[in-house]
Structure formats: C-alpha cells, structure tokens
Amino acid sequence: MLELLYVQNIRWLAVIRFLTNLSFYSTVMVAFQTQRGLDYTGMFAMESIISAAAFMFEVPTGVWGDRMGFRRLLLVGQGLGFLSLAVYCVSYGFWPFALASVLCGVGIACLSGVESAMVYESLPCGGRERLAGPAFSLLQGAGSAGFFLGLATGSFMGAGDPAIPFYASLIPYGLAFAVTFLLVDVQAPRERPVGVAQLLHQAVTVIRAEPGAAGLSLFGSAAFALVNAIYWYNQTAFAAAGIPVAWFGPLTAVAVGLGALAAFAAPSAERHLGRPAALAVSCFIPGAAYLLMAYGGTSPIAVLAVVGVVAGGAWRSPLLEAELNRRVTDHARATTLSALSFVGTLAGMALNLVVGWLGDQGLAAAAGSMGAALLALGLSVFFLARARVRTQSL
C-alpha cells in the first residue's frame, strides 16, 4: 500500500476521495428533506433523477475524457458537485431538489469512468494487475475515512438545524475541487488524435467481446443502490429501536469505520477466496443484515444490521473496479468504462424508485426485499466474475 502513495495521482485522488466523502449531512438527510417537503418516494425520486442525469452524460463524458484529458473532466465533475450541494442547501420542494440532483448526476458522470481510468493508467504498466486492487481499496478506504469523520460529527451539528451540516459540507467540497488541479494527465500516447467515432467503436468492440463486463456493471449499480439505501433507512431503524437521534451519527460512523477496514482487507480476501467468491460475499453479508433489520427491532439488532450492510459491502467497489479495468483496453479506457456505467445505471434508476416506494410501505417491507435482492445478486456475480476475459486478444 505504501508503494501507491509514491504515485502522484493516486495520492491526490485519495485526498480528493476523503474530502468529497467528508459530508456532514448524511445522518440528518431524512429530517432535512422532510422539512423541505419530500417524503420517501420523493427522496428516492431524487436518487433516480441523479441516475438519469448520469445515464444521459455517461458516454459523452467518457469520450471527452479520452480526447480532452482525464484531469479536465475531473475538474468539471468536482465543480458540478460543489454547485449541486450549494443548490441543495437552499432548496424547498420537489423541483429545486430535482435541479440539484441533475447537477449532481452530470458531475457523477464526469467522474465515474474517468476517475477509474486515471487510477488504472497512473499505475506502472508492469504492475497494474498486482496494484489495481490495492489502489482502488486505498481510494475506498480514504472515502470511508472521510465519511466516518462526517458521520461522527454531523448529527451534533444538525441537532438544532439540519441545514447546518449541508452548509458545512461546502468547505471540503471546495477543497476537493482545488486539489484536483494537482493531478496530471496520464493517457497512453497516440500517434494521431483519435476521433469520437473511433473511440466509440473501440468501446463497443470491447463490450461485444466481453458481454460479462456489461453484466458486472449492471450488478454494480444494482448492489450500490441497495446498499446505499442504508443511509436513509438506518435512521428509520434506529428510531424504531428507540435510539436517541444524537447517537445516529456516531453509530453509523462506527459502521463506516469498520467498512474502511474491510475495504483495505479486500486484496487479502481476494487472495484467499478468489475475486468471484469475494464479490459474492460482499452481497451476502449486507443481504443477511437487511433481513435481520426487517425482523428485529431492538437496539443491538438495529446497530448490528446497519454495521452488516455498510461494512459487509465494502469489498464490492474496489474488487469490481479492478475487474472491469482488467477487461478493457487502454486506448479507449474512459469511454469504455463510461459506456459500461451507462448500461449499469439503468439498474440504479429503476431500483431507486422501487426502494423509495418500499420505504413508504414500512421498514420490514423495504429491508426484507432489499435483503433478498442482495442475496440473489451475490449468486449472480459469482458466475459473472468467473467468465473468461477475452479483451487481451483485441
């Protein structure tokens, strides 16, 4: 892991991940959005709007990244993230929140495939397969560390006014934008400029040769939507168990801290279990935790369930990023990863609406359904990740 810190881009991307995840508002988001006129259906409709905006801009931003440079797109993405949060802070009612969600979705599209491509291409060519997993684990751990700090302090900030943590979060978002200027572009040199049509053709060629990559992208989006929902439903579960609001943040911070440790353990898990089995376990644990949440209402069970969902799913992202990058080629890496994300975002768009509707039916219905879905995803990814990789012959 220490070896990665000598790579300039990896080092600064880890700092950026820490800052962008240093959000103080997660534990008061439900209270804030409720005060501003949204119910659970409206809250998760915002998540679907984010997914829809990201869906529309995934492929164009990937092409721009391959043609214009990764760093420029990351600057645009971080800038849009800051602007989105600023609009969010002053939003009341459905449509202002929807505008903020659109800005957020476009910003995510600028970051998704481009950041992953920059991480992979910043690694030494001879050590990419060995270092990819640890590199993505480092970024996941840095993000979890920022999230931990934000959760541990945010509920105290928002005890009187849930808007305060949102305004406070503008500071680390602005710093993340500033740090992005320290990155350097690392695209593989080309003899002549590559046209948009050629980039898209290369991306389609890779996806046709590796249909399993599209399946893995769908899996990743679906699993993310289900696991990420815990940051809304943890508040409902804690309240139902009689836990005071002041403890929501610290308890969730403990779960995120354990998730950071789990993310750093992902390379070790991969070595012992193999990547397909490790990915499956990353769904089985949060799936079982959701089922526990659905059928138990005491304080220890509620806390254990939240820890299981957050920490149990922490392996998924770094392992999946490494696997997808292993299946694509350098010359259209950002375009291909964005195209795969474009496919995968369909799952997130559909699931967020369903998850929001389930929340309005009650915690048991939502947690039970999400738990069963994660168990099914765990079975599917085991076979998807075992598929033979063929892009090396392209």
Stretch among 138-142, 144-148, 383-387 having the lowest mean pLDDT: 383-387
What is the Cα 377 distance to its own chain's centre? Answer: 17
* CATH number, position 339: 1.20.1250.20
What is the Cα 383 distance to its own chain's centre? Answer: 23
pLDDT at 252 exceeding the cut of 70: yes
Domain range for residue 101? 2-183+192-393
Burial class for 21, CB neighbours closer than 10 Å (0-12, 13-18, 19+) = buried
Handedness of CA 303, 309, 315, 317 (dihedral sign): negative
Number of folded domains that form the chain: 1
Q: Give 251's contacts (C-beta < 8 A, 6+ positions apart).
A: 238, 243, 303, 306
What average pLDDT does the segment 17-34 reach?
A: 89
Mean pLDDT of the chain: 83
pLDDT tens for residues 212-241?
777 888 888 889 889 988 988 888 888 888
**pLDDT in the model for residue 336:** 72
What type of residue is 374?
L
pLDDT tens for residues 267-321?
888 888 888 999 999 999 999 999 999 887 678 898 999 999 998 888 888 888 8
394 band by pLDDT with thresholds 50, 70 and 90:
very low
Give the DSSP letter of residue 187.
P
Distance between CA 101 and CA 353 in Å, rounded?
14
Distance between CA 337 and CA 325 in Å, rounded?
8
Tokens 């214009």 belong to residue: 68
Task: Report the run of H or E that residue 62 belongs to, with start and end.
Answer: helix 40-68
**pLDDT in the model for residue 151:** 81
What average pLDDT does the segment 118-145 reach?
A: 84
Joined together, the tokens standing for residue 148 give 């931990």
388 band by pLDDT with thresholds 50, 70 and 90:
low
Tell me the C-alpha to C-alpha distance, in Å, between residue 390 and each of 125, 200, 266, 327.
19, 19, 25, 8
**pLDDT in the model for residue 192:** 43
* Cβ neighbours, 10 Å, residue 119: 27
Angle at Cα 20 formed by Cα 17 and Cα 22, nearest 5°?
A: 105
For 163, list phi and psi in degrees, rounded to 5: -80, -25
1 band by pLDDT with thresholds 50, 70 and 90:
low
Distance between CA 193 and CA 387 in Å, rounded?
34
Higher pLDDT, 348 or 250: 250
392 band by pLDDT with thresholds 50, 70 and 90:
very low
> How many Cα atoms sit within 13 Å of 126 on the Cβ side?
0
Least Cα distance to 355 among 44, 47, 46 occurs for 44
What is the Cα 146 distance to its own chain's centre? Answer: 14
pLDDT tens for residues 64-95?
887 778 899 999 999 999 999 999 999 999 99
pLDDT tens for residues 350-382?
777 788 888 888 888 899 999 999 999 999 999
Kindly compute the dihedral angle of the four CA atoms of residues 321, 327, 333, 334, in this order, to the nearest 10 degrees: -40
